[in-house]
Amino acid sequence: MQGIWFSELQTPGLAISVKLKKTLHHEKTPYQDLAVVETESYGRMLLLDNIIQTTVGDEFFYHEMIAHVPLNTHPNPRTALVIGGGDGGVIREIIKHPSIEKATLVEIDARVVANAREYLPEISCGLDDARVEIRFEDGIEHVRQMENTYDVIIVDSTDPIGPAVGLFSAEFYRNVYRALKPDGLFVAQTESPLFNGRLIRRIQRDLAEIFPIARLYLGTVPTYPGGLWSFSLGSKEYDPLEVDWKKAPQLVTRYYTPAIHQGAFALPPFVQEIL
Ligand code: AG3
């Protein structure tokens, strides 16, 4: 292959390769290796420890699905918390909801936000909204300290390696439950159903023990391992399959629609088997 290619080793036997135009930025932050590159097919791309976090070309699949499913499940979400998500993509989607009064971003690495602001303006543009508060702290600690605070909590983490491991634990989910209002709900990105079945099964079982409603839904994300991605939802009261669509806000989106929302909970047999 001609030119310079970046490859992410997605599993020990599978890589995704993206042709690069140039490297815009590279640094070692206190937490991780960070790079922003310009790709030929997906536009700008954010890498953390050589793992694709997001690209300008396909970020909308992921950010719309992780944000609008929980926000439309709640009939009147006023306060939202994002853990991780320093690129700002989830925040950009959250503030499309007119009911939102405050969106808090808790990101451990300030350099992710700084670089997203500089190099990924299409994704980070919502961070300057007056309703947004950004805190550079550990999401696990933040949730431990909160009680009865948020309508919706969204965990937009990296893969469950290193510092993100705690964001996939039952103890963390119990703290999320406490940090939510009495009718609150939460969603986390939970990796590939094709390659991370055991992890997804364990998370769904943990959530079912903590929340009255625990569900799994799926969305396409072209640059993530397997191309099909999972999201796990825990809810105290509202069922994502019983949204009153007449009352839902009209959103300008590129992937998410009410029909996609409903359909995302239809699990193919190979996914039902892992649960
Ligand atoms: N959060 C990262 C999802 C995991 C991607 N994994 C992978 N490529 N191996 C996305 C951050 C976007 N806001």
CATH code reported for the domain at 4-55 = 2.30.140.10
Looking at residue 115, its pLDDT comes to: 98
Which atom of ligand 1 is least distant from the CA of 59? 12
Do 69 and 98 touch, CB atoms closer than 8 A? no
Q: Is the dihedral of CA 193, 196, 200, 202 positive or negative?
A: positive
- Report whether pLDDT(78) > 90: yes
Q: What does the alpha-carbon distance between residue 244 and residue 227 come to, in Å, rounded to a whole number?
A: 30
Looking at residue 163, its pLDDT comes to: 85
Ligand 1 centroid – CA 54 distance (Å): 6
Q: Is the dihedral of CA 122, 123, 128, 131 positive or negative?
A: positive
Best residue among 14, 51, 200 to mutate for probing ligand 1's pocket (most ligand atoms within 8 Å of CB) is 51
Do 176 and 149 touch, CB atoms closer than 8 A? no
- Report whether pLDDT(131) > 90: yes
Ligand 1 centroid – CA 47 distance (Å): 9
Looking at residue 39, its pLDDT comes to: 98
Q: Which backbone phi and psi does 253 adopt, to 5 degrees?
A: -140, 170
Looking at residue 193, its pLDDT comes to: 98
Mean of per-residue pLDDT scores for the chain: 98
Nearest to 146 by CA among 174, 124, 125: 174
Ligand 1 centroid – CA 247 distance (Å): 31
Q: Which of the four CATH numbers 3.40.50.150, 2.30.30.60, 3.40.50.11310, 3.10.20.740 does domain 59-274 have?
A: 3.40.50.150
- Report whether pLDDT(73) > 90: yes
**Residue owning the nearest CA to atom 5 of ligand 1:** 53
**Residue owning the nearest CA to atom 13 of ligand 1:** 85
ipTM above 0.90, yes or no: yes
DSSP 182-198: EEEEEEEE---TTT-HH
Pairing of the two strands 79-84 and 102-106: parallel
Domain ranges of the chain: 4-55, 59-274
The tokens of 55 are what?
A: 């690209």
**Mean pLDDT over residues 194-211, rounded?**
98
Q: Give 74's strand partners.
A: none
Ligand 1 centroid – CA 158 distance (Å): 5
Burial class (CB in 10 A: 0-12, 13-18, 19+), 222: middle
**Mean pLDDT over residues 210-214, rounded?**
98
In 27-151, which ranges are continuous DSSP H helix?
Answer: 59-73, 89-94, 110-119, 121-124, 139-145
**Residue owning the nearest CA to atom 2 of ligand 1:** 158
**Mean pLDDT over residues 219-230, rounded?**
98
| Residues within 6 Å of ligand 1 by CB | 10, 51-54, 85, 87, 89, 156, 158-159, 189, 224-225
